[in-house]
């Protein structure tokens, strides 16, 4: 026990808000999940005694570990010294690592952005708000878009070492991907400037990266578009984050690709969707804009866009004939 306490104290400087609660209980911010993102004064990680050993448990993310594994996670060099000293002293333990039956709290997925400011909370003259509002996004969407000042560092608090280097870290607009229950399973960071890549999508759970599931009504026509921002202008629309619109497959759906008949990659995707028997929108020649957001900026209303989509939706042989004409219209 003496060696355990000694090495816990040695790594204490690397455990934020570390303090001793009583003889065999210590408290600090969890080094696995980064602890509360809303409050930097909360500490939900604990080391406690069980028989003759010390164990770690976090009441935020539910991680449980032996003290040795905690030390290894925090400081690999100190862990080697710890193992050597235990071996040299002949300290042994017959206690297996305890099973921590702990349900991860729901609020972690719902509220992982609570430490960040939503765009609607920013002052009207804030640069980030001005950039977002310049896209003419619906006002009711601003409360679920967030400003992240340091995208790499923030992501590393959720997924350890997702970005091994945080050099060149920068602000991004965070767009949460929520499932049918409102739980966040992924998020997209959109650059405010010239940073490359323009979009970075982070998955927190398994599954396809589809945006808009929390607002989806599968009993009505579902419009599948290329980007989350475009989907915000339409009712009952979802977006895929990897450009493969065919992954969003619903009984009554229309795939709405960007209006770029000169783009070989988009033409390839449209042709693939048609060959798969999907219904696709092929924009009319009279529409000069490349995507839905540009249409809004160009003066189109939501109603006009929906009407144009419905009037230019094709399938099967009709889609192939229209696609040949659509691709040919603006070909070089």
Helix (H, G, I), strand (E, B) or coil at 309: helix
CA atoms within 13 A on the CB side of 49: 12
Percent of the chain with pLDDT over 90: 65
So what's the pLDDT on residue 74?
A: 92
Q: What's the CA gap between 6 and 169, in Å, rounded?
A: 36
So what's the pLDDT on residue 246?
A: 87
12-47 residue pLDDT tens: 999 999 999 888 899 999 998 888 777 778 888 999
Query: What mean pLDDT value characterizes the chain?
Result: 88
So what's the pLDDT on residue 288?
A: 96
So what's the pLDDT on residue 109?
A: 57
For the chain, the maximum distance between any two Cα atoms, rounded to a whole number of angstroms, is 82
* 174 DSSP β-pair partners: 146, 189
Greater confidence (159 vs 128) lies with 128
CATH 3.90.980.10 is held by the domain 106-207: yes
Residue with tokens 């619109």: 245
Q: Which strands make up the sheet holding 172-178, listed edge to edge?
A: 117-118, 146-148, 172-178, 184-191, 199-203
Residue 52 has pLDDT above 60, yes or no: yes
Dihedrals phi, psi of 246, to nearest 5 degrees: -70, -15
H or E element that contains 46: strand 45-50
Residue 196: Cβ-neighbour burial (10 angstroms; 0-12, 13-18, 19+): exposed
So what's the pLDDT on residue 91?
A: 57
Residue 329 has pLDDT above 60, yes or no: no
CATH of 215-332, one of 3.40.50.720, 3.40.1180.10, 3.40.50.620, 3.40.1360.10: 3.40.1360.10
So what's the pLDDT on residue 256?
A: 97
| Residue-wise DSSP of 185-199 | EEEEEEESSS-SSSE
| Residue-wise DSSP of 239-251 | EESSS-GGGS--S
So what's the pLDDT on residue 198?
A: 92
Answer whether 42's CB lies under 8 Å from 36's CB. yes
192-250 residue pLDDT tens: 988 889 999 999 887 778 999 999 999 999 999 999 999 999 999 999 987 678 888 89
So what's the pLDDT on residue 217?
A: 95
- Rounded average pLDDT over 288-296: 97
Domain boundaries, the chain: 2-89, 106-207, 215-332
149-202 residue pLDDT tens: 999 999 999 888 899 899 999 999 999 999 998 889 999 999 998 888 999 999
Bond preceding residue 96 cis, omega within 30 of 0: no
Q: How far apart are the first and last CA of the chain?
A: 77
Q: Domain 2-89: state its class.
A: alpha beta
Angle among Cα 296, 298, 302 to the nearest 5 degrees reads: 30
Residue 313 has pLDDT above 90, yes or no: yes
So what's the pLDDT on residue 297?
A: 98
Residue with tokens 């989350």: 228
Residues in the chain: 332
- Rounded average pLDDT over 141-151: 96
So what's the pLDDT on residue 97?
A: 40
70-119 residue pLDDT tens: 999 999 889 888 888 887 776 554 334 444 443 433 334 556 888 899 99
How does residue 138 score in pLDDT terms, banded at 50, 70 and 90?
Answer: very high
Q: What's the CA gap between 197 and 274, in Å, rounded?
A: 29
Dihedrals phi, psi of 65, to nearest 5 degrees: -160, 160
Q: What's the CA gap between 139 and 217, in Å, rounded?
A: 21
Distances in whole angstroms, Cα of residue 79 to Cα of each of 39, 260, 299, 303: 30, 56, 63, 63
């Amino acid at each position: 026990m003496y060696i355990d306490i000694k090495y816990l104290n040695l790594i204490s400087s690397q455990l934020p808000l570390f303090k001793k609660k009583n003889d065999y209980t210590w408290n600090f911010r969890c080094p696995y999940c980064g602890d509360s993102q809303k409050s930097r004064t909360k500490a939900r990680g604990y080391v406690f005694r069980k028989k003759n050993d010390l164990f770690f448990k976090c009441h935020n993310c539910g991680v449980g570990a032996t003290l040795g594994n905690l030390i290894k996670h925090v400081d690999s060099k100190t862990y080697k010294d710890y193992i050597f000293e235990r071996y040299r002293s002949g300290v042994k333990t017959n206690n297996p690592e305890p099973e921590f039956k702990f349900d991860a709290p729901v609020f972690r997925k719902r509220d992982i952005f609570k430490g960040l400011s939503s765009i609607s909370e920013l002052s009207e003259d804030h640069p980030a708000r001005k950039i977002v509002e310049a896209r003419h996004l619906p006002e009711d969407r601003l409360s679920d878009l967030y400003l992240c000042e340091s995208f790499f560092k923030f992501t590393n608090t959720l997924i350890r070492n997702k970005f091994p280097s945080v050099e060149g870290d920068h602000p991004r607009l965070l767009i949460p991907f929520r499932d049918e229950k409102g739980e966040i399973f992924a998020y997209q960071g959109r650059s405010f400037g010239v940073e490359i890549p323009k979009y970075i999508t982070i998955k927190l759970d398994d599954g396809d990266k589809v945006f808009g599931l929390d607002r989806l009504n599968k009993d009505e026509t579902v419009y599948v578009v290329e980007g989350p921002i475009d989907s915000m202008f339409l009712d009952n629309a979802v977006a895929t984050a990897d450009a493969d619109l065919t992954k969003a497959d619903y009984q009554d759906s229309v795939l709405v690709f960007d209006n770029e008949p000169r783009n070989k990659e988009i033409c390839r995707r449209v042709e693939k969707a048609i060959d798969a028997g999907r219904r696709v929108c092929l924009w009319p020649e009279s529409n000069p804009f490349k995507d839905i957001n540009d249409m809004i900026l160009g003066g189109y209303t939501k109603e006009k866009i929906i009407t144009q989509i419905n009037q230019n939706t094709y399938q099967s042989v009709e889609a192939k004939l229209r696609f040949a004409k659509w691709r040919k219209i603006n070909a070089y």
